[in-house]
Amino acid sequence: MQDVVQWLKDNGDLKVIDEPLDVELEIPHIAYIEVKTDESRPILFTKPINKRLDIVYDMPVLMNIFANKALTEKIFAKHPDKVAEGIDKLLKLKPPSGFIEKLKMIPELFALKNVFPKRSKVRGECQQVVIPKAEVDLDKLPILKTWEEDGGAFITMGQVYTKSLDGGMQNLGMYRLQQYDKNHLGMHWQIHKDASHFFDQYQKAGKKMPVTIAIGGDPLYIWCGQAPMPHGMFEMLLYGFVRGKKAQLVKSITNDIYIPKDVDIVIEGFVDPLKMEIEGPFGDHTGYYTLKEPYPVMEIETITMKDKPVFQATVVGKPPLEDKYMGWATERIFLPMLKPMAPDLIDYYMPENGVFHNLILGKMKTLYKGHAQQFMHAFWGVGQMSFVKHAIFVNEDAPELSDDLAITEYILNRLDPKKILITQGIIDALDHTANETLVGGKLGVDATSSEVKEGVKTLLDDKTLLNKMQMLDEHILELKQYFTHTKNPICVITVNKTESMKNLIERVSILGENIKLLIIVDKKNNDINEPYMLIWRVVNNIDAQRDITLKPFIIIDGTNKSKLDGFTREWPGDTFCTKEILDSLQERKLIDIDEAFIKKFGLLPFEN
């Protein structure tokens, strides 16, 4: 892919916006809204500006490259399932037993020749312009500030290339990078990630760590950067495998890290292991702000670029977003890699409103008692899958995992408190709910058995049940039951929380005849009629060990936690758009949304 913009014009229905637009909030808000629409398209902003700093940039900003499934598939030049098939074949390669078998293997082995990147000695087109250290100025790049409360501007689609201290391993990871000033960036590689492991090595050796960040080029680099490759495997191998041609790499000018020759912008520098700076806050893909924390800092040695670079960026926040489509490809492609540790796994699905690490559904061929539990532990014990907080396993006879209604019915008909495992494990660094960082509650639901016998003994209509509950607890404001035709209808209530929900739970626990599964959410900023965002909220907001009660029926406390609950960490706020920006974009016909859209996706705080 030589020219991504031209390629997107030809293949991706690229939207081009020529109006001057601010990199602070305006451009990100447009991209954020676009990707939530049914006709989500990539957008090229040809005239980015920064009103506050009075800057007119001389390069365009390209966003939502992974705008939809069709485009994602085109970027791969094949369906992700096809890539998965190729990986599956490789993993199952056996020594050939005869001449014919040997011949049959040739195409597969031939494909492998493309896996290893080609390193070139000459400079690449990404080095057509070289900016020396003294002239480095990050303000010349249209770096976006996405959310009002963000701690600054962040590079959101940076390909971060690093190598181990002994040079034996190279890594590409996608981590956000905060702009501190003209020549310093914050490296948000979380503690579990490969670049952070490398950083540890440099820190222990007391040596500066070389880092090269690339922006742009083939969008597949970006996807490879976020792919959860096993530790020690360079993501460019995966690139070569998917593309069917070797990644073409050139050496950075001021260090010996190799980067793809066709990227648009390259930022080279060193991270001083003695220097840490506060990073964030930043409105993240969980739909919450991640809190301020110290992270390493990179000092820039040089910036190089193409003659006419394009600045690629993405927006994260509440789902659905561009990472939905990147995540879809990842989910498909990594299925065969999960099978060696869980051979009877048929399929898995990470619903976008579970923001990947908060909810996973797995379909399996159940062979023995405890099989689903075995899978839970396997998932929670391997690579980035171990961040998953809530895992539900169903049997091979279950409907398609992505058929939301049918699979929910199937699970609710099999939900049995005795088959629920609540335990503790490693959690994503972004998780805000656990009482301490990095370790928290895990929920595993074994829904592989046959249907449970008993449903709700006396099913009441919403109004009657609400009245009954309100007599028990005055904090309850609204009630809606979902899936009342199943064995475990979901009863959702909203509350005005002024005390720990433990009191409410105790008061309503006499309602075992009317309720089998109760979910509590705050009235504030939740709409009881929007299941998509309710799921997002609940799986985000709970720590299973603290917030799930199994007796006398299942109760899930999805409210925000505070000192009322004995929660001592800071509870972050939601990512909300800025109303004046939305109004102004709407007035200028740059977006076209109504109240229902705003409410559906929680774009603004609710006026409860």
Ligand X SMILES: Cc1cc2nc3c(=O)[nH]c(=O)nc-3n(C[C@H](O)[C@H](O)[C@H](O)COP(=O)(O)O)c2cc1C
Sites of contact with ligand X (CB under 6 A) = 171, 173-176, 188-190, 193-195, 225-228, 314, 316, 323, 326, 384
336/489 with CB nearer ligand X: 336
232/370 with CB nearer ligand X: 232
Contact call for residues 195 and 165 (beta carbons, < 8 A): no
Q: How far is the CB of 486 from ligand X (least distance, A)?
A: 34
195/495 with CB nearer ligand X: 195
Structure tokens at 599: 């409410």
Residue 228 C-alpha from the chain's centroid: 11
195/401 with CB nearer ligand X: 195
Q: How far is the CB of 7 from ligand X (least distance, A)?
A: 21
Q: How far is the CB of 531 from ligand X (least distance, A)?
A: 25
Contact call for residues 439 and 425 (beta carbons, < 8 A): yes
142/158 with CB nearer ligand X: 158
* Gyration radius from the chain CA atoms: 25
Nearest-CB residue for ligand X: 193
Cα maximum dimension of the chain:
80
14/430 with CB nearer ligand X: 430
Q: What does each C-alpha distance from 409 to 403, 421, 425, 543 come to in angstroms?
A: 10, 20, 28, 24
174/542 with CB nearer ligand X: 174
73/478 with CB nearer ligand X: 73
384/488 with CB nearer ligand X: 384
Q: What does each C-alpha distance from 484 to 112, 193, 445, 517, 528 come to in angstroms?
A: 53, 43, 20, 11, 16
Q: How far is the CB of 193 from ligand X (least distance, A)?
A: 3
Q: How far is the CB of 462 from ligand X (least distance, A)?
A: 39
Contact call for residues 81 and 334 (beta carbons, < 8 A): no
Q: How far is the CB of 350 from ligand X (least distance, A)?
A: 12
388/460 with CB nearer ligand X: 388
Q: How far is the CB of 157 from ligand X (least distance, A)?
A: 7
Beta strands 248-251; 118-120: pairing state = parallel
72/171 with CB nearer ligand X: 171
Contact call for residues 588 and 20 (beta carbons, < 8 A): no
Q: 120, 304, 136: which is closest to 213 by C-alpha?
A: 304
173/260 with CB nearer ligand X: 173
SS (H, E, C) 179-193: ECCCCEEEECCCCCC
Question: Is the preceding omega at residue 320 within 30 degrees of 0, hence cis?
Answer: yes
185/434 with CB nearer ligand X: 185
Q: How far is the CB of 608 from ligand X (least distance, A)?
A: 31
SS3 of residue 60 by DSSP? coil
Query: How far, in Å, CA of 80 to CA of 244, rounded?
Result: 14
Q: How far is the CB of 371 from ligand X (least distance, A)?
A: 28
Residues 6+ apart with CB under 8 A from 390: 354, 358, 359, 360, 442, 443, 444, 445, 539, 544
Q: 16, 30, 19: which is closest to 582 by C-alpha?
A: 30
Query: How far, in Å, CA of 151 to CA of 145, rounded?
Result: 9
Q: How far is the CB of 150 from ligand X (least distance, A)?
A: 13
Residue 452 has φ and ψ, to the nearest 5°, of -70, 155
Q: How far is the CB of 228 from ligand X (least distance, A)?
A: 4
Q: How far is the CB of 174 from ligand X (least distance, A)?
A: 4
Q: How far is the CB of 460 from ligand X (least distance, A)?
A: 44
Residues 6+ apart with CB under 8 A from 109: none
Contact call for residues 241 and 111 (beta carbons, < 8 A): yes
Residue 294 C-alpha from the chain's centroid: 21
Residues 6+ apart with CB under 8 A from 276: 294, 295, 296, 297
Q: Is the dihedral of CA 490, 494, 500, 504 positive or negative?
A: negative
SS3 of residue 417 by DSSP? helix
